[in-house]
Amino acid sequence: MKNIVVPIDFSEDSLKGIDLALLFSAKHKTNIQLVYVQKKSSDYNSPGHFEEEKEWANKQFENIISQYAPKLKNDSTLKYIIKSGKIYKEIVGQVESYQEAMVAASTHGASGFEEFFMGSNAFKILSATEKPVLTTRTGNIPKKISKIVMPIDVTIDTRQKVPFTAALSKLFDAEVHIITITSSRGKRITDRLSAYAKQSAGYFKARDVNYKIKTLYGENVIDLVAIYADSVDADMITIMKEQSKSLTFMGNLTHQLLNRATIPVVTLSNRETHIMTGFSTFGS
């Protein structure tokens, strides 16, 4: 969370990624890195157009810096870089250049950001980076993070979001809502969810994180999460991204939640959690 990479295409929606990053700047020193990606010069038919676009982008960034720099807190910095190539590859390359970093972005924008995240390339950036990805679909950025919803399901890696969520809670002094979600009331499943929730609660309690636990049943788990988050006026949701061996099912659920949520969502990979916390799992 010390370095935040924000993809920019100069649309109003893409600038919402900066607003997301400013939430962290308000709490600690943050390096915010804006990234604009041009197509490769060989893709242009008009000679000199590549250079003209780069000059235009520099001017756009200068205006953005002058607009947002006064909003920075805690000696945070706001810089930009112009790259060329494929959008997702260049963004991933930038975020991976930092030891500790995350991506913050709107899922809409003038040059295909909605397709970039939600369409055929929806999981390219999520699959290609092990860093956290913070997205907003609606562009509604909370003024502060007071409540974080953390869904727990029956998958083993579901608990691996706990340490990162705890870190977010401590940073923002936010209350965490642990919600167990299932479409089954079978004893084996409900017992496992109860155990996972208790383990998560124990982790939070040991670190003085305020939390609540709620059990939710329903056929549509995406609706359960989204409706609950809205009902408690939550400001953020933390989820685990799909694993490569189960892309179809988990990928669809992740995709649906990113499309459905009305508040920012942090998507984590299990390896990222392990690197940051030393936890690979809480238990079998």
**pTM score:** 0.88
Q: Structurally, how many domains does the chain consist of?
A: 2
Task: Please say which residue of 109, 136, 163 terminates a domain.
Answer: 136
Residues 154 and 45 in one domain: no
For the stretch 89-133, pLDDT in tens is: 999 999 999 989 999 988 776 555 665 555 444 457 777 888 999
Residue 138 to residues 105, 189, 232: CA-CA distances in angstroms? 11, 34, 18
Residue 153 and residue 271 in one domain = yes
Residues 191 and 85 in one domain: no
Comparing 209 with 115, the larger pLDDT belongs to 209
Question: Is position 263 within any domain?
Answer: yes
CB 271 within 8 A of CB 148: no
Residue 262 has pLDDT above 70, yes or no: yes
Domain boundary (101, 117, 136) is at: 136
Q: Which domain holds residue 198?
A: 147-277
CATH assignment at residue 94: 3.40.50.620
Mark whether 63 and 98 lie in a shared domain.
yes
Identify whether residues 79 and 27 lie together within a single domain.
yes
Residue 249 confidence (pLDDT) above 90: no
Q: Is the pLDDT of residue 196 over 70?
A: yes
Query: What DSSP line would sit under the chain, residue for residue?
Result: --EEEEE--SSTTTTHHHHHHHHHHTTS--EEEEEEEEPPGGG-SSTTHHHHHHHHHHHHHHHHHHHHGGG--TT-EEEEEEEES-HHHHHHHHHHTSSSEEEEEES--TTSHHHHHHSTTTTHHHHH--S-EEEESS----SS--EEEEEE-SSGGGGGGHHHHHHHHHHHT-EEEEEEEES---HHHHHHHHHHHHHHHHHHHHTT--EEEEEEE-S-HHHHHHHHHHHTT--EEEEEPPPGGGHHHHHHHHHHHHHH-SS-EEEE-HHHHHHHHS-S-S--
pLDDT for 156 beyond 70: yes
Any domain includes 82: yes
Same domain, 14 and 92: yes
Question: What pLDDT is recorded for position 257?
Answer: 86
Quick check: is 283 in a domain? no
Of 136, 168, 195, which residue sits at a domain end?
A: 136
pLDDT grade, residue 248 (50/70/90)? very low
Residues 6+ away with beta carbon under 8 Å from 235 = 142, 144, 145, 146, 147, 148, 174, 263, 264
Say whether pLDDT at 255 is over 80: no
Shared domain for 122 and 191, answered yes or no, is no
Residues 132, 151 within the same domain: no
Judgement on whether residues 35 and 75 belong to the same structural domain of the protein = yes
Query: In which band, very low, low, confident or very high, does the pLDDT at 195 lie, cut at 50, 70 and 90?
Result: very high
Q: Are residues 95 and 45 in the same domain?
A: yes
**Which range, of 116-130, 134-148, 241-255, 259-273, averages the lowest pLDDT?**
241-255
Q: At what angle do helices 187-206 and 162-172 cross, to 10 degrees?
A: 40
Place 62 in a pLDDT band, splitting at 50, 70 and 90: very high
Does 157 lie in the same domain as 198?
Answer: yes
Contact of 195 with 167, CB cutoff 8 Å:
no
